[in-house]
Structure 1
Amino acid sequence: MLQHILSELTGTGAFRGQMFIDGRWTDGSARDVFEVENPANERIIGTIPQGTAEDAAEALAAARKAQPAWAALPPYERAKFLVALADAVRANDGVLARIVVAEQGKPLNQAMGEIGATETFLRYAAESARRIEGDIFPSDVPNEEVWIRRVPHGVVVGLTAWNFPAALAARKLGPALVAGNTFVLKAHEFTPFSGIALAALAQAVGFPPGVFNVVTGAGRTAGEALVTDPRSDLITMTGSTRAGKEIYRAGADQIKVLRLELGGKAPFIVMEDADIDAAADSAVAARFGNCGQICTCNERMYLHEKIAEEFLDKLVARTQRLRVGDPLSNADIGPKISAPERDKVDAIVRESIAAGAEIRLQGGALRDGHYAKGHWYAPTILKVRDNSVPAMRQEIFGPVIPAMTVGSFEEALALANDSEYGLSAYVYSQNFKRLMRSAEALAFGEIYVNRSSGELVQGFHTGWGQSGLGGEDGKYGLDGYFRKKTMYVNWS
């Protein structure tokens, strides 16, 4: 089936996607379809049903029905299904990567990296099956113990963003299932086919009906229905801060358990004692991967005055070597996901220039010649005078780096914390005291010290402030897919 999906997405026709509910492929009750566009050439590559509240209810009912039997399996038995799915992902990695390229636009080598991460998330979750622990405490009462058990929530709804359509689905699916929950995925309407492909593989390896379901359509219809339905017990979402706030409000009446990974505005601090070449390489990698469409991207730079000009020269030189073009070629940067997203980036740059930003590398929107079709934006580097310009305040989510000069490490820390976001931060310095100071002072859930971006599966990816609630990965991420049950056991 995957090869069929790929041939349709990359051929001259359009793939007709369906929802996957209770082990069946269906159009559900949807009367309308959503057209999915290839962002590199603007061709309509497929359609998906515009899922309705009725479709959401059907998927949740299927998940609710399947959950008791799934939870009754020993964790190791549940893990076997995840291992089989991970094996299938590896066996089909080239096809899955090309599906990602077709719907999302990232260069093929980066899409292969995403599929590798998809496999890793599933395998790590499976490995966690024998690490599910409870606690036993002594009681204050004779002949009694206090047992704390970790038990599944029930039905988990996963709402994923368009920037990593395969990996984000697996990041949530794996721990949810190994914990004993069942899962309903609402893939982003821009990039639904990676989630559909993952469901096809789950079906092929024998997942029980209702354990993994996929609903397609818009967030304000199918997504909202999944959040507000009383049969959804935990909502895990990756997306914008705006969307996260809407989900927060929608789940309030029923006191829904929420895990929200939202926007970021990562500061990148380079001190005068840093390895300048290593920092420049890292700054490029941490900004321009996936066309800058990563929540942990290098979004703003604070450069010590003693090395600022040298660093900017190296940064510009490295960035100029990047190639913008066809994601299936050897390009480094593909298109933005959509025209409105490209135009949003362009507006931030224009507003920043109007506010006094100096252009150090002229990029901008590309609309002519080879770039007449698609949503292209060339790398842009700005030097700004203070922290107030739009490029230093708003999440850019595109291939633009704003940088400013600072006179001290303490000034850099203060400016880094001057943001409503608190997801990721970067620090380059060889001074151990500064590194320990950054660990204490930076108000971010994730800090990269003398390295580029890329969290590890055994870590904990979590945001502070407007960057979200909860987190993913590692033992702390897995713990969020359980709730606790306390038992006072008396044998008098």
Structure 2
Amino acid sequence: MAGLTLHNFGIATGRLFINGRWVESATGDRRDIFNPKDETRVDTVAAGSLEDAERAVAAARKAQRPWNALTPMERAGFLYKLADLIDANSETLAQMLTAEGGKILPESRIDVGFCALLLRHAGESARRLEGEILPGENRDEQIWIPRVPYGVVVGITAWNFPAALFARKVGPALVTGNTVVIKPHELTPLTTLALAELCRQAGIPDGVVNVITGDGRSVGAHLVSHRGTDIISMTGSVRAGSEIYALGAELIKPVRLELGGKAPFIVMEDADVDKAVEAAVTSKFFAGGSVCTCNDRMYLHHKIHDEFMEKFVARVSRLSVGDPTTDVNIGPRISSGEVAKLSQMVARAAEQKATLLSDGQPAEGNNTHYERGHWFFPKVFSVTSNDVDIMRQETFGPVIAAMAVDDFDQALAFANDSEYGLSAYVFTQDNRRIMRSVTELEFGEIYVNRPSGESPHGFHTGYRKSGLGGEDGKHGIEGFLRKKTLYVNYA
């Protein structure tokens, strides 16, 4: 695995994928990609420029009308071929994803598998793209409302799920007749570049899919504000989403944002505590907590609080942190900046009188494996106030806090008291509480008596600062189409 690079996919060093070809950056500049576990160089990629972005947009615009001229079922055929190629290369892709992102190998395999599943779902949606025909006010007249593609989609992806997020942009965009320019995160571009090569091998026509590496605040911003791009689909931080929203505003450009989260995890006194504990651990520590939907703050009914926390802390204390290619539960953080951010949050929690119940540190004398790399160990806190920072700021790492609540009303009030509104969890056997969650829990995605994990035919959407629009399922597909009204008189 140490020698795994883009050469495994036949991609020369420092190339961009534009108009169906692997090309040098206009500037020739490059940047190294490092393995988070030991800070060794994994590979080198092009540092894309504004001129490269211009070339990619031009290629996408030229390809869009011929691509849209195909039937949706013809376009779906290319997505099926791409998904098959992903399956055939799944282990190599997973190993590359782990090398650049630090995710443990089983989770990287899940990411790659979900990528293929999302592409197949997009292909299956080809026969379900619908318009409308309405009766006209005049005789011999109908009103047609077809759904048509926007044109050129800019897809900007985050570092935590490079494969699945690629599919979330590319699958719906392509099946609906759009073309795409993808800008992967600067820290994890390798998997996306490898997927671009598989697009080429799948026979997707030149210019339909383009991948540009580079800095978000230069290349990414240029793509967002470019007059030749028609809609933006971005997954990332609230900070980046806010900047993209402002850039798109000048041209009144549609912007779809999937941003951060601070998911509440509510457990009532009638819940199956053991089931809730397992779900809480899975939903918090999958991908080391670097998931926007992860369990990020827990509200536990006072009658089961102590039992739950005793079992939860015991489970967390058994989680292992280490080399993501070995049998561990959590790998390294993506960067030293992420480690510093989490360390500051933990220090702030201590200042605000949060009680540290588990710090996850390795045994004395067992630190040799962590001398290099970006390591952070699970932390569990108990708090008595919903106003402390650790209950309000997204952690995006293996840090979690819990507090006792008097009843369901208080749990709902605390859960909704947040700038975020992506995901929430509810554990109860009371159907009245479940139905109240439908109307009173102000989050776009709610998991009831189960851990996290979306389905490709669901709808992944957030409220408030967690984003605009949404992804997956028929509603996600519709987000890449706009309506056009025709008044057709045939008298």
2:115 matched residue in structure 1 = 118
Counterparts in 2 of 1:276-287, with a 5 A limit? 276-287=273-284
Q: Give the TM-score, by structure 1 length.
A: 0.97
Kept after mapping to 2: 8 A contact 1:64/1:231: yes
2:448 matched residue in structure 1 = 449
2:292 matched residue in structure 1 = 295
Counterparts in 2 of 1:320-399, with a 5 A limit? 320-363=317-360, 368-399=367-398
Kept after mapping to 1: 8 A contact 2:262/2:394: yes
- The alpha-carbon deviation at position 30 of structure 1 amounts to 2.6
- The alpha-carbon deviation at position 15 of structure 1 amounts to 7.9
Say whether 1:432 aligns with 2:436. Answer: no
Q: Give the TM-score, by structure 2 length.
A: 0.97
Quote the Cα distance in structure 2 between the aligned partners of 1:156 and 1:99.
Answer: 26
Counterparts in 2 of 1:236-251, with a 5 A limit? 236-251=233-248
2:147 aligned counterpart, secondary structure: strand
1:416 matched residue in structure 2 = 415
Quote the Cα distance in structure 1 between the aligned partners of 2:217 and 2:192.
Answer: 19
2:78 matched residue in structure 1 = 81
Q: Following superposition, which runs of at least 4 residues in structure 1 exceed 2 angstroms of deviation?
A: 5-11, 14-17, 363-368
- The alpha-carbon deviation at position 32 of structure 1 amounts to 2.4
1:458 matched residue in structure 2 = 457
2:27 matched residue in structure 1 = 30
Match of 2:181 among 179, 184, 187: 184
- The alpha-carbon deviation at position 444 of structure 1 amounts to 0.5
Kept after mapping to 2: 8 A contact 1:157/1:235: yes
2:52 aligned counterpart, secondary structure: helix
Quote the Cα distance in structure 1 between the aligned partners of 2:7 and 2:367.
Answer: 23
Which digits, 9 at most, give the CA deviation of each residue in 1:397-423, with x for residues without a partner?
Answer: 000110001001000000000000000
Quote the Cα distance in structure 1 between the aligned partners of 2:167 and 2:89.
Answer: 15
2:474 matched residue in structure 1 = 475
- The alpha-carbon deviation at position 10 of structure 1 amounts to 11
Letter in 1 for 2:357: R
- The alpha-carbon deviation at position 145 of structure 1 amounts to 1.0
Quote the Cα distance in structure 2 between the aligned partners of 1:87 and 1:167.
Answer: 15
Residue-pair matches, total: 487
Segment drifting more, 365-374 vs 308-317: 365-374
2:483 matched residue in structure 1 = 484
- The alpha-carbon deviation at position 28 of structure 1 amounts to 2.1
1:257 matched residue in structure 2 = 254
- The alpha-carbon deviation at position 16 of structure 1 amounts to 2.5
Say whether 1:98 aligns with 2:95. Answer: yes
Quote the Cα distance in structure 2 between the aligned partners of 1:336 and 1:291.
Answer: 8
- The alpha-carbon deviation at position 365 of structure 1 amounts to 9.9
Quote the Cα distance in structure 2 between the aligned partners of 1:152 and 1:84.
Answer: 22
Quote the Cα distance in structure 1 between the aligned partners of 2:331 and 2:59.
Answer: 39
Which digits, 9 at most, give the CA deviation of each residue in 1:10-59, with x for residues without a partner?
Answer: 99xx9834110001111221342222111111112122222111110100
Aligned residues: percent identity? 54
Quote the Cα distance in structure 2 between the aligned partners of 1:345 and 1:78.
Answer: 44
Letter in 1 for 2:461: T
1:142 aligned counterpart, secondary structure: coil
Segment drifting more, 133-142 vs 80-89: 133-142
Kept after mapping to 1: 8 A contact 2:14/2:25: no
Which digits, 9 at most, give the CA deviation of each residue in 1:199-253, with x for residues without a partner?
Answer: 1111112111100000001101110111111010010000000000000111111
Quote the Cα distance in structure 1 between the aligned partners of 2:28 and 2:203.
Answer: 30
Quote the Cα distance in structure 1 between the aligned partners of 2:7 and 2:254.
Answer: 39
Quote the Cα distance in structure 2 between the aligned partners of 1:419 and 1:212.
Answer: 38
Kept after mapping to 2: 8 A contact 1:342/1:365: no
Letter in 2 for 1:488: Y
Structure 1 stretches lacking a partner, 5+ long: none
Quote the Cα distance in structure 2 between the aligned partners of 1:209 and 1:395.
Answer: 40
Which digits, 9 at most, give the CA deviation of each residue in 1:328-365, with x for residues without a partner?
Answer: 11111001110111110111111011101001112369
1:198 aligned counterpart, secondary structure: helix
Counterparts in 2 of 1:87-236, with a 5 A limit? 87-236=84-233
Quote the Cα distance in structure 2 between the aligned partners of 1:194 and 1:427.
Answer: 35
- The alpha-carbon deviation at position 378 of structure 1 amounts to 1.0
Kept after mapping to 1: 8 A contact 2:5/2:96: no
- The alpha-carbon deviation at position 138 of structure 1 amounts to 1.3
Quote the Cα distance in structure 2 between the aligned partners of 1:359 and 1:467.
Answer: 28
1:16 aligned counterpart, secondary structure: coil
1:274 matched residue in structure 2 = 271
Provide the aligned C-alpha RMSD in A: 1.7
Kept after mapping to 1: 8 A contact 2:59/2:207: yes
Letter in 2 for 1:20: F
Distance 1:245 1:59, change over 3 A: same
Counterparts in 2 of 1:28-67, with a 5 A limit? 28-67=25-64
Quote the Cα distance in structure 1 between the aligned partners of 2:376 and 2:12.
Answer: 28
Which digits, 9 at most, give the CA deviation of each residue in 1:167-193, with x for residues without a partner?
Answer: 100111001000000011001110001
Quote the Cα distance in structure 2 between the aligned partners of 1:308 and 1:319.
Answer: 16
Quote the Cα distance in structure 1 between the aligned partners of 2:347 and 2:134.
Answer: 61
Letter in 2 for 1:290: A
Kept after mapping to 1: 8 A contact 2:157/2:234: yes
Distance 1:444 1:196, change over 3 A: same
Quote the Cα distance in structure 2 between the aligned partners of 1:249 and 1:281.
Answer: 41
Segment drifting more, 367-376 vs 390-399: 367-376
- The alpha-carbon deviation at position 7 of structure 1 amounts to 2.6
Say whether 1:401 aligns with 2:400. Answer: yes
Quote the Cα distance in structure 1 between the aligned partners of 2:46 and 2:243.
Answer: 23
Kept after mapping to 2: 8 A contact 1:6/1:98: no
2:376 aligned counterpart, secondary structure: strand
Quote the Cα distance in structure 2 between the aligned partners of 1:221 and 1:375.
Answer: 27
- The alpha-carbon deviation at position 370 of structure 1 amounts to 0.7
Structure 2 stretches lacking a partner, 5+ long: none
Quote the Cα distance in structure 2 between the aligned partners of 1:132 and 1:354.
Answer: 54
Quote the Cα distance in structure 2 between the aligned partners of 1:86 and 1:257.
Answer: 28
1:378 aligned counterpart, secondary structure: coil
